[in-house]
Structure 1
Amino acid sequence: MREVKEFSAWRVSGFLGLFLLLLALLWLGWAGYGLVSERAPAYLWHLLPALLASGLLLAGLFTLQPNEGVVLVFFGRYVGSVREEGFHFANPLAKRQRVSLRVRNFTSERLKVNDAQGNPIEIAAVVVWRVVDTAKALFQVENYEAFVAIQAEAAIRALASRYPYDAEGRSLRGNPEEVAEELKAEVEERLRVAGVEVLEARLTHLAYAPEVAQAMLRRQQALAVIAARRLIVEAAVEMVKEALAGLEAQGLALDEERRAAMVNNLMVALVAEAQAQPVVNVGTLYA
C-alpha cells in the first residue's frame, strides 16, 4: 500500500479570486446585455466563456476556520491540503474534504479483561488526540474516528494484560503515572498510520470484576493485616534489643533463663492486641 503524506496545495488569496469573479460577472453581464439588446451572435462567444469563468471562479472560493484543514482531490488524485485559516481560492475542479484539527477526547467503555495474574478486572480510559496529517487521516484508513476508537480499546486491553491489578512491584493500581505513559505510547504507535497524535491517555476506571470483587477485597485486607503484623513484630524486636542493651549498659546482667523470660514477656506485651496485664512475682508458698 502506497503511503500518502500531507503536503501543501496550490492556493491564492480568496480576495484575488473574488476580484476575478467580479470581473467575470461584469464580462458575463456585458455579453448578456449585448446578446439581448443587439441580438448579435458574436456576443454568444463572449457569453459562454464568461459563464464558464464565473462558475469556475465561484467554485474555487472557500473559507477555513481555525484548526481546520481541507484536502483537495483532483480526479481521484491527491493534490495537497490547505491548513491556513481565512479566505482562499484553489483548484475549482478539485473535490474538497474538510478535516477537523481540533483536540478531541475518546472515552472507552468499561472493558472486562484479565490482568497479568489472570484476575478479571474492569478498566476504562480516556485518550486525548488530534489529527496532524490530513492526508493520512483520509486515505490511509477507512474511517479515522472509528479507527481511533478500535485501536485505543485494543491498546487498553493489551496494557491491562501486562500488569497485575495490585502487587508489591509494578501494577495498574500502584503505578498510575507509569501506566498512563505506557498507554499513551502504545496508542500513539497504533494511530501513527492514521496521522493522529495522542496528547494524553489516562485510566478513568479500574476495579475488579463484580464476580471476584468480594474475594479480592478480603485478600487485600488479609495482605494489609499481614503487612501490619510484620511491621509490628519488626518494631517489637528492635525495642526488645534496645531494652536488653539498656539493662546491660546499667550493669544489670541477666542469665540466659531470665533473658529469655524477659524477651518473652516484652514480645507478648508489645505484639499482643489486648492490653498486657502485669504479673508481680511475690515468691513461692514454701521457703
Structure 2
Amino acid sequence: METNNNLIKNNITEKELHPMSGMAMLFIIIIGILAGVALCIAGPVFFVDMTGVFVAAGILLIVVLCILMAGLKIVNPNEALVLTLFGKYYGTIKKDGFFFVNPFATGFNPTVAGTVDGLIAEISESAKKDGHKKGRTMSKKVSTKTMTLNNGQQKVNDVQGNPVVIGAIVIWHVSNPTKAVFNIENYFEYLSTQCDSTIRNTARLYPYDTIDQENDEMTLRGSSLEIAQNMKGELQEKVKGAGIEILEVRITHLAYAEEIAAAMLKRQQAAATIAAREKIVEGAVGMVRMALDKLEDDELVVLDDERKAAMVSNLLVVLCGDKDPQPVVNSGSIY
C-alpha cells in the first residue's frame, strides 16, 4: 500500500552544522569596527597626504564587519535553525547556543510565513481595541519541544453506521526539522489534517459498543486504549515523512451523536435491566429451591404438588417484584 512518504518528492537529507562560537566572532567584529573607526580618524590627523586611502579602508572594513554580523545566530534550547544559502539547503543547527555561520545563510521556516496573515489580522484587531499597534517577533527557528494537538470533536460513523462524536489529543514533537520545513508546507496543518483522517478511518473499523457483554470484540468504548495505540501507529506512518514523531494519542471524548443518543440510552438501559432481571430470577429460583428442600428435610410441613406450585409462585413474586410485598395473614388451614 502506498504511504504518504512515497508521495513526498525531493526528500532532503538532514545535515547538522557545527559552527564556530558566536562570542569569539562578536569580539573580532567589535575589535575590527573599532579599528575601522580608528583608521577613519587617524587618516586626516596623522596621514594628511593619504587621508582618502585611510578613510576608504576604514569605511570598507566597517561595512564588511557589519555584513558579517548577520551571521551571528542565537539558538535557544529545544529549538533548531534550518539555513538556506541562495535557495539551496545549507545545514541545520540543532544545538543551543550563540554561533557564527555564513552571513548570507538565512533561516527557513514556511510555517511562519503561513501565519503572517492571521497575525496581521490579530494585530489590527488589537490596535482597534487598544488604540495602538502591537507587534510580535516571528522567529524562523523550528521548535522541537513536545507539543499537544487538541483535535477537538468530530462526528464519524462506527462500523455499524451509528453516528458517534469522538475527540482525541495528540502529543508530538518535531524530530527532523529539515524534513518538517522542506517536505511539508505547514507541518501544523498537515498534522491536524492527518489526525482527522486517522480518527475517521479508525472509528469506521469498530462499533461503539456491543449488546452482548460476553463478546470479546474490540469496541470504541471498551477498548479505547488499544484503539488509541492503533491510531498512534497509523498516524506515525502518515507523518513520518514530515519529520514528526508521535509520542501518544488519547481519546478524550466519545459519545453517540445527539440525534440517536436518547434511543441508544434506552437500548443500554433495556440491556442493563434484562441483565439485572436474569440475575434476580436466577437467585430467586435458587432461594425457592433451598426453601423447599429445607422444609422437606426438617419435615416441618408436607406439601403436595399444588401447594408447592402456589408457594413457588408466591416466593417468586416476593423475590422478583420491584416493590415491597404487602403481607396477608392466613388464619385458617392451608388445606
Tell me which residue corresponds to 1:142.
185
Tell me which residue corresponds to 1:184.
232
SS in 1 for 2:227: helix
* 1:89–1:227 Cα change, 3 Å: same
Distance, in Å, in 2 between the alignment partners of 1:71 and 1:255 is 95
Distance, in Å, in 2 between the alignment partners of 1:6 and 1:244 is 84
Alignment equivalent of 2:286, drawn from 238, 247, 251: 238
Q: CA deviation at 1:243?
A: 3.9
Q: CA deviation at 1:94?
A: 0.9
Return 93-102 or 159-168, whichever deviates more.
Answer: 159-168
SS in 2 for 1:92: coil
Q: CA deviation at 1:206?
A: 2.1
Deviations 1:70-119 (A, max 9, x none): 11112222222112222111222211231112222222232111112111
Q: CA deviation at 1:54?
A: 0.3
Give the residue type in structure 2 aligned to 1:198. Answer: I
Give the residue type in structure 1 aligned to 2:184. Answer: V
Residues 107-122 of structure 1: matches in 2 within 5 Å? 107-122=150-165
Residues 47-126 of structure 1: matches in 2 within 5 Å? 47=58, 50-51=61-62, 53-97=64-108, 98-126=141-169
Residues 193-204 of structure 1: matches in 2 within 5 Å? 193-204=241-252
Deviations 1:190-239 (A, max 9, x none): 22221122233222322222221221221121111112112212222333
Taking structure 1 as the reference length, the TM-score comes to 0.84
Q: CA deviation at 1:165?
A: 1.9
Alignment equivalent of 2:318, drawn from 226, 249, 269: 269
1:162 aligns with 2:205: yes
Return 183-192 or 96-105, whichever deviates more.
Answer: 183-192
Distance, in Å, in 2 between the alignment partners of 1:83 and 1:64 is 8
Distance, in Å, in 1 between the alignment partners of 2:11 and 2:296 is 82
Give the residue type in structure 1 aligned to 2:160. Answer: Q
Tell me which residue corresponds to 2:14.
6
Give the residue type in structure 1 aligned to 2:36. Answer: L
SS in 2 for 1:172: coil
Whether the aligned pair in 1 keeps the contact of 2:40 and 2:59 (CA below 8 Å) is: no
* 1:236–1:134 Cα change, 3 Å: same
* 1:237–1:178 Cα change, 3 Å: farther
Whether the aligned pair in 2 keeps the contact of 1:10 and 1:91 (CA below 8 Å) is: no
1:19 aligns with 2:60: no
Distance, in Å, in 2 between the alignment partners of 1:94 and 1:241 is 91
SS in 2 for 1:109: strand
SS in 2 for 1:110: strand
Q: CA deviation at 1:276?
A: 4.4
* 1:179–1:247 Cα change, 3 Å: farther
Q: How many residues align?
A: 284
Q: CA deviation at 1:12?
A: 1.3
* 1:58–1:39 Cα change, 3 Å: farther
Taking structure 2 as the reference length, the TM-score comes to 0.73
Whether the aligned pair in 1 keeps the contact of 2:153 and 2:167 (CA below 8 Å) is: yes
Alignment equivalent of 1:212, drawn from 260, 268, 285: 260
Give the residue type in structure 1 aligned to 2:276. Answer: A
* 1:234–1:7 Cα change, 3 Å: farther
Q: CA deviation at 1:139?
A: 0.8
Whether the aligned pair in 2 keeps the contact of 1:66 and 1:85 (CA below 8 Å) is: yes
Distance, in Å, in 1 between the alignment partners of 2:291 and 2:230 is 50
Residues 246-265 of structure 1: matches in 2 within 5 Å? 246=294, 250=298, 262-265=311-314
Name structure 2 gaps, 5 residues minimum: 1-8, 109-140
% identical equivalent positions: 40
Distance, in Å, in 2 between the alignment partners of 1:177 and 1:127 is 13
Give the residue type in structure 1 aligned to 2:165. Answer: E
